[in-house]
Amino acid sequence: MGKNLTSRSEDYSKWYNELVVKADLAENSAVRGCMVIKPYGYAIWEKMQAELDRMFKETGHQNAYFPLFVPKSLFEAEEKNAEGFAKECAVVTHYRLQNDPDNPGKLRVDPDAKLEEELVVRPTSEAIIWNTYKGWIQSYRDLPLLINQWANVVRWEMRTRLFLRTAEFLWQEGHTAHATKQEALEEAEQMNDIYAEFAQNFMAIPVVKGLKSESERFAGADETYCIEALMQDGKALQAGTSHFLGQNFAKAFDVKFTSKEGKQEYVWATSWGVSTRLMGALIMTHSDDQGLVLPPNLAPNQVVIVPIFKTDEQFDAITIVVNRLTTSLRSKGVTIKYDKRDTLRPGAKFAQHELQGVPLRIAIGSRDLENGTVELARRDTLSKETTPIDGIEDKVVALLEEIQLSLYTRALDYRDSHITEVNSFDEFKEVLEQKGGFISAHWDGTIETEDKIKEITKATIRCLPLEGEVKEGFCVFTGNKSARRVLFAKAY
Amino acid sequence: MGKNLTSRSEDYSKWYNELVVKADLAENSAVRGCMVIKPYGYAIWEKMQAELDRMFKETGHQNAYFPLFVPKSLFEAEEKNAEGFAKECAVVTHYRLQNDPDNPGKLRVDPDAKLEEELVVRPTSEAIIWNTYKGWIQSYRDLPLLINQWANVVRWEMRTRLFLRTAEFLWQEGHTAHATKQEALEEAEQMNDIYAEFAQNFMAIPVVKGLKSESERFAGADETYCIEALMQDGKALQAGTSHFLGQNFAKAFDVKFTSKEGKQEYVWATSWGVSTRLMGALIMTHSDDQGLVLPPNLAPNQVVIVPIFKTDEQFDAITIVVNRLTTSLRSKGVTIKYDKRDTLRPGAKFAQHELQGVPLRIAIGSRDLENGTVELARRDTLSKETTPIDGIEDKVVALLEEIQLSLYTRALDYRDSHITEVNSFDEFKEVLEQKGGFISAHWDGTIETEDKIKEITKATIRCLPLEGEVKEGFCVFTGNKSARRVLFAKAY
């Protein structure tokens, strides 16, 4: 199966699309731009959800659920936010179908069932949530309000790609309310830190933490924190964002609280989210021409065991050993699948598990039983060894940790070697075209310059990094004074 | 707070509505018929989800995710299903908003962004899923396909009530595909059994397992299994359904497989679901005039500890004891909240925890510290006792088990004493009006009789019970021959 994949060097984009479908992660549906997330892909997403949910709850957040629909009058209340999303809104206008008198057996929209006010399918939930918070917040005692929602959202994108950009996607959106600006800023930064920690420690994806430039900010935000990752083709991917919303939504929805001092004040807000887009980041960070490569933390099955046998007796003898092994490995917290399907030959199973990125494969045949060995194969390095079955449990646990770390280190090395400082616009363009990756360059801070660079090179400012030295200099494009270097890249 | 609740005897419906809002479970939103599920209500729903998800996976099901939208042409493919849901469909007709030239600052639907084909917001997902399964199923090797989805669905109901009937609700929907009729029937019955087990063992709600009459079946099903619960006001509530769909969807979407014998055959199907409606069942089964009563299995906090103090020194001394206690209780798997808020007096805290149904409350004051005691209060019986703090952990664990069981027994007694056999239509009407509950009566098996009884009494056939003796007799309404008694009731 693996050999049927287009190679990355041949066509990276085609490789990605093929891998997503062939590894059984997701596929396109009958609805334009909407995907079906298949069981194997969804199992990976569930692991991400569980870990993120744990991290959110540990930092005092609670889950809740708000309506899918936003009445148009609420949607337009915060003008910048509305303007930012208006062009990609799916709109419900009717609430009933009826038999089509012209086409027996077919239905049509009932013209008498037109809604008085159209409903926008949420592209994001600030409007409906802040309209609700108005009823929940009266006093400083009601603050902070720390709420998260796991939900589907819809943004009518014209060009879609599985996981990376789909009309409907799954995400979590946190929406918090605070008594002070300082507290809201700290919350926005804290959640961005949590995303970074999750990406690095759990997904083995190194990220740059930063702030967005004004033109790349979330519509309605005063400041957008982000984590930016680098894909194998040298393009950046925004993996998560956390917004300081100032008092914009509080003012749009008139949400005030009585302070300890008895004064009426507008509430300060944040919102933050990551989505099924992370699946795209995961795939494009670690995978290779043989297929998906999964960090053990995210693998639905960390280990797969394949029996090699000809007779039923051989199979039974192998199975006894396998059952003992799976029991002891499970007790160490390892997830295992015993692939005893009789409809596929071992070679086909190997290819499938390779394609699907199972971190470790154990093959056991009759000769192994005699010798007290197994064949142990690592997905990340594609290396194999024959090793004694005695003590294999500790070896597996240690290897899983090693693979998790090694994937991170490999991605970090790649990322770090693809951050290039440039000092002229010629160098900028050359590095962008020849090498790709992040380009660290001085910028004069104007939207005008940002737009022109984007127009000429297709590179955008990914972020103003939060870490590292900040030094003044001169803009690579205009030569004007620059307060600091920022990171440019072509991006997904 | 509790005393502000309307009593059940005064107005059951008002009591329910008030309780849902005052106990912070849910509230109405700005979108007609859609609710906001508040954090406390959502935490209970999460406990239900976790347990159900575990049960589904244990029986071999995997989660996946299918699109929110169903193109109209797919929606109408299975005619009965389409007809059943057509009248309550929210329909997306446009994909963009634009500035309203007549109202500066306002938006309107962009008339140029009309969809070529309207999209129905899923009221249920058989259509989109079976259209997908067509690509997944070729051979008997691809079967059975056992998939579940956690999702939101929309049914445009005219009269809505929080949790019980809302335009948008959350649910899970299982959709399975099988090679044989027998296997599909067994799956449908198995999932209904799982729902019953969940309701009884986890939610402490006794249910009757049964089959729906033809007119109460799911639109598009050949057979609908259900679990029916009885609320405190004598009305029944359908708590879950599991459908044997025959080959209806396979035929509508042309889903065939090659059998072991090499023949092309249509696939057999089931679907099954429970929803946030279970929250309504939970509330109306156990709660009382003081507010919510939660079975310990579903309580976000099984125990709340309230300190009674005047000085900071007293508070500190109590807190040392509480910290020790919470650590040892948590190690036994008990969930605890230490309510040390300084903005509320103990009495107000007691009232709030009573209203929110926390199963056990422990109050500790300075005198308790001296005496080595605590005050322990049970929510279900509203009884209190002073008890030694020594050995309190085992007592708490035992009490939680006792409460879980006792709530079930109480509900079971009520339910069993509200199943009344009647042998005439006068008796039928009298019992229905005077006593309520399930009425076990002979019925001649015709839709006509069923409709007339419904018209006259508002009672519907809840189910043909799967357990208990089946004996012939004569229909209470027509006097015609009847194959068996069935259960009638007024229902939510």
Mean pLDDT, range B190-198, rounded to an integer = 98
Rounded Cα–Cα distance for residues A341 and A358 (Å): 17
Which residues of B, range 189-218, sit inside 8 Å of A by Cβ? none
| Strands A145-154 and A62-63, bridge-based pairing | parallel
User: Out of B65, B76, B91, whose CB is closest to A106?
Assistant: B76
ipTM given for this complex: 0.97
**A86 chain-B contacts, CB cut-off 8 A:** 96-99, 107
Task: Assess whether pLDDT exceeds 60 at residue A2.
Answer: no
Is A62 in contact with A146 (CB distance < 8 Å)? yes
- Give B104-124 pLDDT, tens digit per residue: 889 999 999 999 999 999 999
- Give B150-176 pLDDT, tens digit per residue: 999 999 998 999 999 999 999 999 999
Using the beta-carbon criterion (under 8 Å), do B95 and A91 form an inter-chain contact? yes
Dihedral of alpha carbons B215, B220, B225, B230, sign: negative
Q: Does B70 reach chain A within 8 Å, measured CB to CB?
A: yes
pLDDT band at B3 (very low <50, low <70, confident <90, very high): low
How confident is the prediction for chain B on average, in pLDDT? Answer: 97
**pTM summary value:** 0.97
pLDDT band at B2 (very low <50, low <70, confident <90, very high): very low
Cα–Cα distances (Å) from B92 to A109, A129, A285, A296, B70, in that order, read 10, 22, 36, 41, 10
Rounded Cα–Cα distance for residues B307 and A251 (Å): 39
Q: Which long-range contacts (CB under 8 A, 24 or more apart) does A243-247 make?
A: A243/A188, A243/A217, A243/A218, A243/A270, A243/A271, A243/A272, A244/A184, A244/A185, A244/A188, A244/A269, A244/A270, A245/A126, A245/A184, A245/A220, A245/A221, A245/A269, A245/A270, A245/A271, A246/A181, A246/A184, A246/A221, A246/A222
What structural domains does chain B harbor?
2-286 (3.30.930.10), 301-401 (3.40.50.800), 419-489 (3.30.110.30)
For residue A90, the distance in angstroms to the closest alpha carbon of chain B comes to 4
Rounded Cα–Cα distance for residues A275 and A264 (Å): 36
Rounded Cα–Cα distance for residues B16 and B27 (Å): 12
Write down the number of H helices and E strands in chain A.
14, 27
Q: What pLDDT, on the 0 to 100 scale, is given for residue A1?
A: 44
Only one residue has tokens 């692939």, namely A339
A139, closest residue in chain B (CA to CA): B343
Kindly state the percentage of chain B with pLDDT values over 90.
98
Which residues of A, range 90-149, sit inside 8 Å of B by Cβ? 90-99, 105-107, 109, 118-121, 128, 131-132, 135, 141, 147
Q: Does A258 reach chain B within 8 Å, measured CB to CB?
A: no
Q: Does B391 reach chain A within 8 Å, measured CB to CB?
A: no
Rounded Cα–Cα distance for residues A76 and A74 (Å): 5
**A133 chain-B contacts, CB cut-off 8 A:** none
Mutate to test the interface with A, among B69, B102, B345 (most CBs of A within 10 A): B69
Q: Does B67 reach chain A within 8 Å, measured CB to CB?
A: yes
Mean pLDDT, range B32-51, rounded to an integer = 98
- Give B314-333 pLDDT, tens digit per residue: 999 999 999 999 999 999 99
Q: Does A35 reach chain B within 8 Å, measured CB to CB?
A: yes
Using the beta-carbon criterion (under 8 Å), do A105 and B76 form an inter-chain contact? yes
Amino acid at A101: P
